[in-house]
Amino acid sequence: MLLFESLRKNYEGTDAVNIDRMEIPPGQKFGLVGNNGAGKTTLFRLILDLIKPTEGAVYSKRVDVRRTEEWKLYTGSYLDEGFLIDFLTAEEYFYFIGSLHGFSKHEVDERLVRYHPLFNNAILGQKKYIRDLSKGNQKKVGITAALLFEPEILILDEPFANLDPTTIFRLKNLLNEINEQQNVTMLISSHDLMHVTDVCKRIVVLEAGKVIQDKFTDQGTLKELETYFSA
């Protein structure tokens, strides 16, 4: 589904990402962890063609993402509030995203029912612009918009940050449910080792843009990661 080939992004002589080769197969729940500046967000921005690589390429379904925009039709993403249109209400934003995929307002409303538990009565019907919502509620809007059209690939940067415990629990259950039912390929970065190991079946540790560890999760993975980062 996704392939990174000789992928390198360099800023003023320093590599933010430097990956020889890595493949993420369809349906995999892929977790990306690392300290600030490790290259997690840079990698996601390369996948989404928001920045250009210094060398190499990202391939989605065997096609270089720089050569076509077809991948946008099956890729949902939320990295930060810059993805939102903050002068719209949540409803207006969802209808806009739906219209890009040919959905009527009625179809969008039907799809939003699935996310009502995530909203916890704090998103819809509030008559607030997105910019006036809390950081956590803005994140709920962004994640829901990324999921609204049932993408084949989902990319989320720090999805658990700024969320309350109830929402985190519901989001983790929702991601696992969507992966099982729709075989969605998920790329999730997080500073919270417990949450990312709860959701993801494969964990990659980045350090200075390079892959330090690449392993499938088991009962000992969380402890191993805690030991690595505490050192």
Count other Cβ atoms within 10 Å, centred on residue 127.
Answer: 8
Cα–Cα distances (Å) from 231 to 192, 203, 211, 225, in that order, read 16, 18, 17, 10
Looking at the DSSP bridge assignments, the partners of residue 207 are 210
Closest CA to 100 of 69, 121, 137: 69
Q: Residue 77 corresponds to which tokens in the numbers above?
A: 């993403």
The side-by-side arrangement of strands in the sheet containing 63-64 is 14-24, 2-11, 55-60, 63-64
Q: Is 207 left (phi over 0), alpha (psi -120 to 50) or beta?
A: beta
Amino acid type, 54: T
pLDDT of residue 3: 98
Identify any residues that bridge with 134 across adjacent strands, giving them in sequence order: none
- Terminal-to-terminal C-alpha distance of the chain: 34
Q: Name the CATH topology of 1-74+151-231.
A: Rossmann fold (3.40.50)
Sequence letter at residue 73: L
From first to last of its 231 residues, what are the pLDDT tens digits of the chain? 899 999 999 999 999 999 999 999 999 999 999 999 999 999 999 999 999 999 999 999 999 999 999 999 999 999 999 999 999 999 999 999 999 999 999 999 999 999 999 998 999 998 899 999 999 999 999 999 999 999 999 999 999 999 999 999 999 999 999 999 999 999 999 999 999 999 999 999 999 999 999 999 999 999 999 999 998
Residue 64, classed as helix, strand or coil, is: strand
- Can you give the residue ranges of every domain in the chain? 1-74+151-231, 83-150
